[in-house]
Structure 1
């Protein structure tokens, strides 16, 4: 059987790096079950030349389409075909395969922002990947992504990297201002043809939030021919999402839920200080914004609620929880993070 090896991308976050091989294997299982044409089996960690790899076998050689799909694994640095044994040390020969990720924009869109509490960008990409693969469209098509707790836009930026349209909402005015300033500056510095405006959002003459609207393309010619992406971010309460976005607007809802009590005290929604209570009230609203066949992926701190509790919330909102592999991993003494993904029936 053909065998392949994934070289893991080094992670700047040491704690995440310690989990990256196991998380890559779990992510690879989802790619194999939901995206690859070739049947995948036997994934394991191997060390070649003192460097960790994830190896796997396929029933048939990877087609060009499969190689392109695997190019988007969140922690992949390079992909090799494993061919026999060479040299006196008995190590296998690794033949590099050309990777062609979906990335449409410069990588500094993801990496340039540095601030306390930023979600690791490798994990954000993993969460987006496994949610997209659960949807009826998959990873490679043009998707519309909504992050209802978007903070300073890590998920939005990863969606834009893939060529998707990205929409976000966050209650924190400072995060809204920081992201607005960042993305406008980034677009200018990259000299991308774009329009960007910040407008007030009113309901019954009362100001309920602000909205950033951005349209951009890789060139003037692309914009002229309609090859553009759309980005919008609203500074407002996530429990009022229906006031800002229409039902059935998005292919994916992807969010990293708050890990502690801080979010429950904001927004004037009368929430308890439990993130699980926030999700209990918000998930049914977010589910209305999903298109049939769409998928919702949520990362959360397992200290704040059990998987069974969150699964019950998703099921109660009319979604079907996916039977996905283990993504639980340690972040710090107060956070053990996991992922749950559910789909909306078509």
Structure 2
């Protein structure tokens, strides 16, 4: 059986770096169980030549399998172990654009980029077939998108991304950023701002950008879209059509840097109340078979409570193996975990 060694990407976030290997190991286990037909075994941390690696074994990884693994959130380099030698394995990532689309925008409360990618990855692994992940055409919604970290990661993969954000400053900052980034990269694109109305009443302001990785792709109609709407997440069902997204992925309010918003539009420090009201709205926007991935602060909402909220909304929660070992410390007030659920159908 062939052994592989994965070199973990360095992280600018020192706290996350301490748990990156464990997080990556569980991400590999999710990939193995859900998109690789159990092809990976013996995932463990090891040291080779004095350097820490994440090692695993497989005797059946295909080219498609390696293309999937190339998108692991903390993958820096991958090697096949040949005795005492490491043979580089070429990694063919989905990334369509320069990585500064993800890293350049800095602000207080921004979710770590590696964790955002991990959350998107494990949600996609549960909900989508391998060829669908690699083939594109995926539609992602982040119903509390902040300044767009999840949207940018989805765009990197070539997927369409939509977001809802109640904070007007964040909405405007993200719309300005993505348009400036596209101009700086000289990528062909169009941008439209408009009002969203339902039954003659205003719901929110929308910015929609369509673009392509190359001029040739744009001329051929191979474009993707990113849109963000300045509205209350509880009104997401008024903004988008039912059953229109493959994935709903979001980092829920922590009750620390972020404030939740209730139907009254009053700010609250009770994220559990927000999730109780919002999850059914988000679930209605998922296609049958679609996946929902939520990260949140365990200090504000118990895992059992969030699992119950998801189940009450008609979703099947994945509660086995690696999904029970993603909890990690962010800072003194935040112990973050993630949960993934799938809509039957």
Task: State the TM-score bracket (shorter-chain normalisation).
Answer: over 0.9
Q: Counterpart in 2 of 1:134?
A: 126
- Counterparts of 1:304-319 in structure 2, within 5 Å, are 304-319=300-315
Q: CA deviation at 1:226?
A: 1.5
Q: Counterpart in 2 of 1:17?
A: 17
The alignment status of 1:234 with 2:233, answered yes or no, reads: no
Q: CA deviation at 1:224?
A: 2.2
**Per-residue CA distance 1:266-291 (angstroms, 9 max, x = gap):** 66346753101100100000000000
The alignment status of 1:213 with 2:208, answered yes or no, reads: yes
Distance 2:2 2:182 in 1: 43
The worse-fitting range, judged by mean Cα deviation, of 221-230 and 271-280 is 271-280
- Counterparts of 1:58-137 in structure 2, within 5 Å, are 58=58, 60-84=59-83, 92-137=84-129
Distance 2:37 2:88 in 1: 20
Distance 2:277 2:167 in 1: 19
Q: CA deviation at 1:236?
A: 0.3
The alignment status of 1:8 with 2:8, answered yes or no, reads: yes
Distance 1:95 1:212 in 2: 46
TM-score by length of 2: 0.94
RMSD of aligned alpha carbons: 1.5
Cα contact 2:262–2:274 (8 A) shared by 1:
no
Q: CA deviation at 1:199?
A: 1.3
- Counterparts of 1:1-346 in structure 2, within 5 Å, are 1-37=1-37, 39-58=39-58, 60-84=59-83, 92-138=84-130, 139-142=133-136, 143-260=138-255, 262-265=258-261, 268-269=264-265, 273-324=269-320, 325=322, 326-346=325-345
Q: CA deviation at 1:202?
A: 3.0
Q: Report how many residues are paired.
A: 338
**Per-residue CA distance 1:105-154 (angstroms, 9 max, x = gap):** 11110011011111000000000000000103343232100000000000
Distance 1:285 1:213 in 2: 22
Q: CA deviation at 1:73?
A: 0.4
Q: CA deviation at 1:62?
A: 2.2
The worse-fitting range, judged by mean Cα deviation, of 333-342 and 193-202 is 193-202
SS at match of 1:241: helix
Q: CA deviation at 1:209?
A: 1.3
SS at match of 2:66: helix
Cα contact 1:171–1:267 (8 A) shared by 2:
no
Distance 1:97 1:165 in 2: 29
Distance 2:216 2:134 in 1: 23
SS at match of 2:135: coil
Distance 1:3 1:160 in 2: 33
Distance 2:43 2:342 in 1: 26
SS at match of 1:119: coil
Q: CA deviation at 1:200?
A: 2.0
